[in-house]
Structure 1
Amino acid sequence: MTFRPPTPFNIADHFLDARVREGRGDRVALRHAAGTVSYADLKGASSRFGHLLLEAGVRPGDRVIVALPDTPDYVAALFGILKAGAVVVMLNPHLKRAEVDYLLEYTGATAAFVHPETGGPLTEAVAEAREAGGEGRTLATGALERVFRVGTPDLESRIAQQSALLEPFAAGPDDPAIWLFSGGTTGFPKGVVQSHRSFANTTELYAKGVIGYTEDDVTASVPKLYFGYATGSNLFFPMSVGASCVLFPERCEVEVLFDVIERFRPTILVNVPTMVNHMVGHPRAAERDLSSLRLSTSAGEALPRELHERWRDLFGVELVDGLGTAEMWHIFLSNRPGEVRPGSLGRAVPGFEVRVCDAEGREVPDGEVGYLRVRGESRAIEYWRHPEKTARAFRGDWYVSEDMLRRDEEGFFYYEGRADDMLKVSGKWLSPGEVENCLMAHPAVVEVAVVGHVNADGLTKPWAFVRIDGDHPATPSLEGELQQFVKDRLAPYKYPRRVIVMDDLPRTHLGKIDRGRLRGVDS
Structure 2
Amino acid sequence: MDVSELPGFYAIAAADPGRIAVIDTDGTRTSYGDLLARVNQVSHGLRARGLGTGEVVAGVLPNGIDAVVMLMATGQIGLYYVPINWHLTPSEVAYILADCDAKLVVTSPEYAVPGAEIGIEGLAEGQPAHAPDERTCGAVMWYTSGTTGFPKGVQRPLPGAEPEAFLPLNTWFLGEVVDLRPGAEVHLVTSPMYHSSPCSHTQFALHLGHTVVIAPRFDPVKILELIERYRVSNAMMVPTMFHRMLQLPEDVKGKYDVSSLRQVIHTAAACPVAVKKQIMDWWGPVLYEYYGSTESAVAFSVKPHDWLARPGTVGRPAPTFEVRILDEDGKRLPAGEPGLIYVKSSMGTFEYRKDPDRTAASMRGEWYAPGDIGYLDEDGYLFLCDRRTDLIVSGGVNIYPAEIEAALLEHPAVADVAVIGTPDEEWGHNVLALVQLVEGVEPGPELTAELLEHCGPRIARFKHPKAIEYRSRLPRTPTGKLSRSKVRADYLGENTSSSL
User: What TM-score do the two structures reach when normalised by structure 2?
Assistant: 0.72
CA distance in 1, matches of 2:426, 2:55: 47
For 1:340 and 1:31, locate their aligned partners in 2 and report how far apart those are by CA, in whole Å: 32
User: What is the distance in 2 between the residues matched to 1:350 and 1:389?
Assistant: 27
Q: Is the 8 A contact 2:178 2:288 kept in 1?
A: no
Q: Quick one: which of 228, 238, 243 aligns to 2:196?
A: 228
Of 19, 22, 47, the residue aligned with 2:12 is 19
TM-superposed CA distance for 1:308, in Å, is 1.0
* Alpha-carbon distance, 1:365 to partner: 0.7
For residues 361 and 409 of structure 1, the distance between their equivalents in structure 2, rounded to whole angstroms, comes to: 21
Cα deviation 1:12-43 (Å, max 9, x = unaligned): x963222245x333322222233322222222
Determine the structure 2 residue equivalent to 1:344.
313
Identify if the C-alpha distance between structure 1 residues 85 and 465 changes in structure 2 by more than 3 Å, giving closer, same or farther.
closer
Query: Does 2:155 match 1:193?
Result: yes
Q: Deviation string for 1:262-316 (max 9, x for gaps)?
A: 3322101211111111111223334333222113111011111121122223333
For the pair 1:290 / 2:258, whether they are aligned, the reply is: yes
Distance 1:463 1:53 in 2: 42
Give the one of 208, 211, 218 matched to 2:186: 218
Unpaired runs of at least 5, structure 1: 1-12, 127-146, 423-431, 437-448, 452-459, 470-507
Q: Is the partner of 2:341 in helix, strand or coil?
A: strand
Identity %: 26
For 1:255, the equivalent position in structure 2 comes to 221
Q: What's the counterpart of residue 244 of structure 1?
A: 211
Match of 1:130 in 2: none
Aligned partners of 2:77 and 2:136 also within 8 Å:
no
SS in structure 2 at match of 1:46:
helix
SS in 2 for 1:340: helix
Q: 1:298 to 1:246 in 2, by over 3 A?
A: same
Q: Which residue pairs with 2:234 in the alignment? A: 268
Q: Does 1:60 align with 2:53?
A: yes
Paired with 1:515 and 1:385, the residues of 2 have a C-alpha distance of: 34
1:466 paired residue number: 424
TM-score normalised to structure 1 length: 0.69
Equivalent residues in 2 for 1:135-154, closer than 5 Å: 147-150=116-119
Task: Quote the Cα distance in structure 2 between the aligned partners of 1:196 and 1:27.
Answer: 30
Are the counterparts in 1 of residues 82 and 141 from structure 2 also a CA contact under 8 Å?
yes
Does the 8 Å contact 2:152/2:353 carry over to 1? Answer: yes
Q: Structure 2 vs 1, CA of residues 239 and 468 (structure 1 numbering), >3 Å: closer, same or farther?
A: closer
Structure 2 residue aligned with 1:70: 63
Match of 1:505 in 2: none
Change (3 A) 1:516 1:377: farther
Q: Is the 8 A contact 1:328 1:378 kept in 2?
A: no
Number of the residue aligned with 1:280: 246
Cα pair distance change 1:510/1:109, threshold 3 Å: farther
Cα distance in 2 for partners of 1:204, 1:285 equals 34
The CA RMSD over aligned residues, in Å, is 3.6
Query: Aligned-pair distance for 1:317?
Result: 4.7
Hey, what does 1:166 align to over in structure 2? Answer: 131
CA distance in 2, matches of 1:19, 1:352: 30
Shift, 1:515, TM fit: 11
* Preserved CA contact (<8 Å) 2:46 2:123: no
The alpha-carbon distance between structure 1 residues 227 and 207, as it changes in their structure 2 partners (threshold 3 A), is: farther
**1:174-215 per-position Cα deviation (integer Å, ceiling 9, x unaligned):** xx6220122547623221013455976443223355423231
Aligned to 2:292: 324
Q: Which residue of 2 aligns with 1:107?
A: 100
Counterpart AA for 2:292: G
CA distance in 2, matches of 1:72, 1:41: 11
Choose 277-286 or 205-214, whichever is displaced more. Answer: 205-214
Whether the 8 Å contact between 1:221 and 1:230 is mirrored in structure 2 is: yes
Post-superposition offset of 1:468? 7.4
For 1:361 and 1:203, the matched residues in 2 are separated by 34
* 1:484 matched residue in structure 2: none
Specify which of 179, 190, 195 is matched with residue 141 of structure 2.
179
Residues 446-461 of structure 1: pairs in structure 2 closer than 5 A: none
Summarize the alignment of residues 2-41 of structure 1 with structure 2, pairs less than 5 Å apart.
15-20=8-13, 23-32=15-24, 33-41=26-34
Unaligned runs of 5+ in 2: 1-5, 160-165, 402-417, 428-458, 470-483, 496-500
Residue 303 of structure 1: aligned partner: 271
Q: CA deviation at 1:328?
A: 2.1
